[in-house]
Structure 1
Amino acid sequence: MMRFKISLAALVSGLGLVAGAAFASPTCTTEPKSAWLTEAQMKEKIAEMGYREIKVFRTSTTGCYEIYGYNKDGVRAEVYFNPVTGEIVEENLN
Structure 2
Amino acid sequence: MRKLLLLSLVLASPLTFAATQCTTADKAQWQDQDKFQADLKAHGYEIKKFKVTGGNCYEIYGFNKEGQKVEIYFDPVDGKVIKSEIDG
Sort the TM-score into its range (normalised by shorter chain): 0.7 to 0.9
Is the counterpart of residue 10 in structure 1 residue 5 in structure 2? Answer: yes
User: How many residue pairs end up in the alignment?
Assistant: 86
The structure having more radius of gyration, on CA atoms, is 1
| 1:36-65 deviation line (CA, Å, top 9, x unaligned) | 01111111121123211x221000111110
Q: Is the 8 A contact 1:45 1:86 kept in 2?
A: no
Q: Give the Cα separation in 1 of the matches to 2:86 and 2:76.
A: 20
Percentage of matched positions with identical amino acids: 33
Report the structure, 1 or 2, having the larger helix content.
1
**Structure 2: runs of 5+ lacking an equivalent:** none
Distance 1:49 1:18, change over 3 A: farther
TM-score after normalising by structure 1? 0.78
Runs of 4+ in 1 over 6 A off after TM superposition: none
Query: Paired residue for 1:41?
Result: 35
Relative to 1, partners in 2 of residues 1:18 and 1:10: Cα closer, same or farther, differing over 3 Å? farther
Task: Quote the RMSD (CA, aligned, Å).
Answer: 2.0
Gaps of 5+ in 1: none
